[in-house]
Structures are given as C-alpha cells and as structure tokens.
Amino acid sequence: MSLGVAQIQIDTVRKHHDRQAFLLTYPCARYLGVKVPTGYGVLGGRIELDVDEPKVLLSASPTMRFRFTFANRTQDSLYILGMTFVVRIIHQPREVFGSLREDEEDIGYLTFTSPFLELGRDQTGPIEADLVLNHSILSRIEEIRANGDVRYRIAGKFISIPVKEAPTPQMSVTQDGWFEAKVYKSQWVEHFLPSFRFRDTYLLEIPRIDSQDFGKVSEYLNKAWKHKAMGDYGDVLTDCRNVLQETANIVKNSGFEKRNEEGDSVPDWKKFFDSEHMGEIFDTVNPKIWWFTSAGAHAGRAINREDADYALLITHAIANMVLKKHPQHGGSSEKEI
C-alpha cells in the first residue's frame, strides 16, 4: 500500500539565454523555490516519488524496509542520487497556549540499498531503504505512541542530474520534502514488535557508581560488566565478590561495624540503615550472595550467563543502595523516607 505520491513539478521559465528558474513544489509536502544555472537545454515536467508502507526485514537488528519509487516525467533521462531521508516519530498532540502541538523526534536515517537510480524519459524505478533500530529506540517509540498508532514522518532530499556527457554539479537540482504516515496499532503490536523480538528483551537502567569513595567498587563493577560482555562468566562472579567485599569495608570503615557470633568483624547494617527491617534483609541476603559468588573462585563448576546475570544485577543493586544511603553522600534512613 502506498503512502502517497509527491509530485515535484519543474516549470521552466526563461530568464536569460543561459539561465532557467525551476519552481519545485510538493502538493503533499511543502514549497521550495530554486534557481540554478544550466547548460543542457529546456527541462520540463515533474518527478514523482511514491513510498510504500514499511515491511519487516529479517536481520540481526530490528529493521524496517521502505520501498521508494521514482517516476521521471521530465524530457530527459535522469540520475537520482544523494538521497538523504530521516524518519521522525510524531508525538501525541498536546495543548500549548490553547492550540494543539505535535512534537517530532528523530529515530534514524534511512540507508539506501543503492547509491543512485537511473531513469529514462517517462520511466519508473524502485529503490529500497532500511531503517535500523535497536531495543532502546523501540522502547522510545512505545513510550511516544502511548498505546496508539505509530505516526511518523519521512523527511529528506535527493538530487536529480540529467544523463548527459560529463555532468557537473551545476547541472543538478536538489529537491526536498516530506511524507507523513502511520502504522496502525494492531499491525505494530501483532506483526512488527513480535518480528523484532521486542518482548524478548527488556531494558534495565543501571545507575553509574562513580563516587570517589567507592572507587574500588566502581572499578570492580566495570570489570564485571566487561567480563559479562566477553562471556567470561566465572570472572563476573569473582568481580562481584570483590564488590561485596569493598562495599562491606566501606560500611565498616565508616563506623558501622559489629562482631558476629564467630567474633568476626562484619557491617552493622541495622545501624547503617537506621532500620531493623533493612538490617535484617542485608544480614540475610549479603552472606548468601557472597556464598553464591564464591563459585567463581573455584575451578570445576560450570558457570553460565544466567549465573552471571543473577550475581551482577544483585551485586550492583547492593552497591548502589549502600552508596545512596551512605551518610557522606546525603543518604537518608528508611525512617526518614
């Protein structure tokens, strides 16, 4: 199904013997007036641009494929090249000072499968372009569409050059405009998102831990994330164990220390959080996570990605909680929240 046709009308008006004025208009887009010097005679007619609805392209990354169809209605054969188009998502209308406003947000540029298209006189030719997405962009689209249709705009430009001997830039005409269309909610939810495997991946925002006092903690966490990306899952558990050790040392060195039943020095979590409830949770959870991460230091046990994810996410959450609640960083106790 076509999104509509943009007709670029090129009317020739003789100004001087070596100059022509081209009036480029888009009935479905916007007006543009251009004057260019030419040396190849009279060019009259129009260029039609038709864009089909996007399709899903099977690829490692979520990709939408668009099909552009150019129709040369001029008196000369043409090269169509320099195609630069951006796709923008249109926000839901909102009222600003008594009038409705629709904001737009760029989500990516189209990558054309061919650098140019050659069209003879009165000839039509297709060219395809891909929009490569990722799960972060898809999440943003989901947020913007707000359970409605995906409304978008394709805006950009292209260059037309007549097929003559030794064409020069002075013989080219740059033309631009835009299309507005949408993917219906049912099609987006039932076809596009499952094809993109969007629901198979969830985004989790991980806060940075870059406090100077938590330097070692940050260093070990960064190593853990790097080792996870490299597939070194045993090292991830070892890094997490070091994070837990450094975090415990910070708490104890800040004056929140006690002796356990064996007489060992351990963090006083109840005093640190000024909360009986939080203290009991950390007294229970931390030793068990410490025991879980100790597997990374022992050879012979198979450690997989799920083990690394479990240890890393919980360890990162513990370190972040301690940093945010630490008195030197303006932390507040549970009683004050």
pLDDT tens-digit map of 152-195: 999 988 988 888 745 555 556 677 777 788 899 989 988 999 89
Residue 40 pLDDT grade (very low, low, confident, very high; cuts 50, 70, 90): very low
Higher-pLDDT residue of 8 and 270 is 270
Alpha-carbon distance of 252 to 259, in angstroms, equals 11
Alpha-carbon distance of 53 to 192, in angstroms, equals 12
Query: Quick check: 16 pLDDT over 90?
Result: no
- Helices 233-253 and 305-325 meet at what angle, rounded to 10? 20
Neighbours of 37 (CB within 10 A): 10
Q: Read off the pLDDT of each residue in 316-331 and give the average, rounded to a whole number.
A: 82
Strand-pairing partners, residue 19, are: 16, 37
Q: What is the DSSP letter of 198?
A: G
Residue 44 pLDDT grade (very low, low, confident, very high; cuts 50, 70, 90): low
Residue 35 pLDDT grade (very low, low, confident, very high; cuts 50, 70, 90): very low
Alpha-carbon distance of 44 to 75, in angstroms, equals 6
Question: Would you mind telling me the total number of residues written for the chain in this entry?
Answer: 337
- Domains contained in the chain, CATH given: 2-200 (2.60.40.10), 212-336 (1.20.120)
Phi–psi pair at 102, nearest 5 degrees:
-120, 110
Least confident of 124-138, 144-158, 210-224, 290-304: 290-304
How do residues 190-211 score in pLDDT, each as one tens digit?
899 989 987 665 556 666 776 6
Least confident of 30-44, 57-71, 135-149, 255-269: 30-44
How do residues 79-116 score in pLDDT, each as one tens digit?
999 999 999 999 987 776 767 677 889 999 999 999 99
Q: What sign does the CA torsion over 240, 243, 247, 252 have?
A: positive
Alpha-carbon distance of 81 to 302, in angstroms, equals 55
Higher-pLDDT residue of 135 and 11 is 135
Model confidence pTM above 0.75: no
How do residues 234-268 score in pLDDT, each as one tens digit?
999 999 999 999 999 999 999 999 998 888 899 99
Looking up tokens 């000839």 gives 123
